[in-house]
Amino acid sequence: MRVLLAFIGFFVFTNSFGQYYFNDIVSTQLSNDQYKLLRTSKVKKIKATSYEADNSITEGFALEEEISMDGKRIILSTATPGGKSSLTNRFYELSKLKRTQTVNNGIDTKTEYLYTDKGQVQKIILTTTDTAMKSTLTEAHEWNYTETGLVTSMLKIKNKTDTTVIELIKDEQGLVIEERWKKKNRTLETYYYYYDNKKQLTDIVKYNTRLKKLIPDFQYEYDANGRISQMTQISLSTANYFIWKYTYNEKGLKQQEAGFDKEKKIVGRVEYTYEQN
């Protein structure tokens, strides 16, 4: 079985999953924190090696990130066993991600990030261009906050006309506990967020109409330093789930991520190495 791992430390989520609050707000903050750690550690290059369950190296897999001397650009190149490859450029200003651009099989995907004066995500604009078909699709996420800086809602606007309202419900501590998608006064989807006593996100849950009960999409565990040590990803379509376990080096950089199936048998792992200035 080929390794399929969630590179949460180095990849920026761009609608990989359904939860917009997690994708846009939480993941962007995690990405910016990771960037600051890389700069503090004076990392100039990251390489990943993938291993199969039998400990053999995954043929055809490659992942490498190269950080410019001034830190304003990171080039990410990937290749998969199926022969597909992609190149992503990420651009930073004031230690925050400003723009990403990926070219893959004639599809040009660009994501732009705008921030408030307080450094919070204000707007994300995703533009996808099919160079062969000469077509362009756009999607804008416009986030709203209270005067005290608490996130309240988002407008998702596709092609400048199709609008969905994302409402966020918070508890008495200001933590987001519900994410409701609404369109023309009709609720399309609702996600629920759960936290531990340290206010760390532990579960992202939604109601399953077939099973008629709440089922988690993702579950998270943390180490003593507040870093994600384990993520469980549940797939109802295949009646399966995968567990990703993460370890870090003494500088807090991700050292390894290993994937396990629901029988807790390892399916593969990825190990990272870092070159420093």
Q: Cα(255)–Cα(227) distance, rounded to whole angstroms? A: 13
In sequence order, the 6+-apart residues with CB closer than 8 A to the CB of 89 are: 73, 74, 75, 76, 100, 101, 102
E strands, 19-106, in order: 43-52, 62-67, 73-79, 85-93, 96-104
* 112, 103 Cβ separation under 8 angstroms: no
In this prediction, residues 81-106 reach a mean pLDDT of 90
Please state the pTM of the whole predicted model: 0.89
Q: Is the pLDDT of residue 14 over 60?
A: no
DSSP states of 119-159: S-EEEEEEEEEETTTTEEEEEEEEEEE-TTS-EEEEEEEET
In sequence order, the 6+-apart residues with CB closer than 8 A to the CB of 219 are: 202, 203, 204, 231, 232, 234
For the stretch 60-89, pLDDT in tens is 999 999 999 999 999 999 888 877 888 999
For the stretch 147-204, pLDDT in tens is 999 999 999 999 999 999 999 999 999 999 999 999 988 999 999 999 999 999 999 9
**On the CB side of 87, how many CA atoms lie within 13 Å of its CA?**
6
In this prediction, residues 236-246 reach a mean pLDDT of 80
Q: Is the pLDDT of residue 25 over 60?
A: yes
Q: What is the mean pLDDT of the chain?
A: 90
Q: According to the model, what pLDDT value does residue 238 have?
A: 61
